[in-house]
Homo-oligomer: A and B are copies of this chain.
Amino acid sequence: MSTIVKNDVKQALLEAGISIMLEKGYSNSGISEVLASVGVPKGSFYYYFESKEDFALAMISYASERNAEGMSKIFDDTSIKAIDRLKKYFTDCRIDMVSKECRKGCLIGNLSQEMADQSERLREALTDILLAKHQMLADVIAEAQVDGDISNKRSAKELAELTHAAWMGSLLLAKTTKDSGLLETCECLIFEDILK
């Protein structure tokens, strides 16, 4: 296999794994299903990943890099006011969840829920990603505080955590009830009550 083809197979395995694990969770997803979806034999999987846990760690890393790129694309655009970048971010997240008919949700949130007490390696990796996400949110919130669009009553870090908590809880409720209305209500809460 050439390096390009090798990377294609690895990426295809990661993308298939993310899609299957987003729908079915970690414990309920089998490696054989991922292999069948990509159309490669078992040997290809173990060429890239030592175990299912290693595969999950690679998926978490891949998905969070993609998330971080998406966040940076919005958050680094300083032609738009910081508060409006935050609004665009949450609106885009809501539209994405609505387009998925409130299924699947977010890989990092789903695996956090399912695996935090099952695998210390996964829990640590997930914690690092959550904290990095809070930092990205906190940086833009701090900018909006300097602009005077968000009060300094709470620290940017605390506001980032609270905003993210409210959003994750709303995603979970929307995933269960299949009612996306709560996501809109949560957006109002974030910008009218938390980040004000």
Contacts and interface: CB of A to CB of B under 8 A. Distances in A.
B175 A189 contact: no
Contact of A165 (B25, B27, B170): B170
Nearest to A157: B185
| Tally of this chain's copies | 2
Interface residues of A, number: 44
Interface string A104-137: 1100011011101110000100110011000000
30 contacts: A23-B117, A24-B117, A25-B27, A25-B114, A27-B27, A28-B118, A103-B117, A104-B117, A109-B172, A113-B113, A113-B172, A116-B176, A123-B178, A127-B177, A127-B178, A158-B185, A161-B173, A161-B182, A162-B186, A164-B173, A165-B166, A165-B170, A165-B186, A166-B166, A166-B169, A166-B189, A169-B169, A169-B170, A169-B172, A193-B193
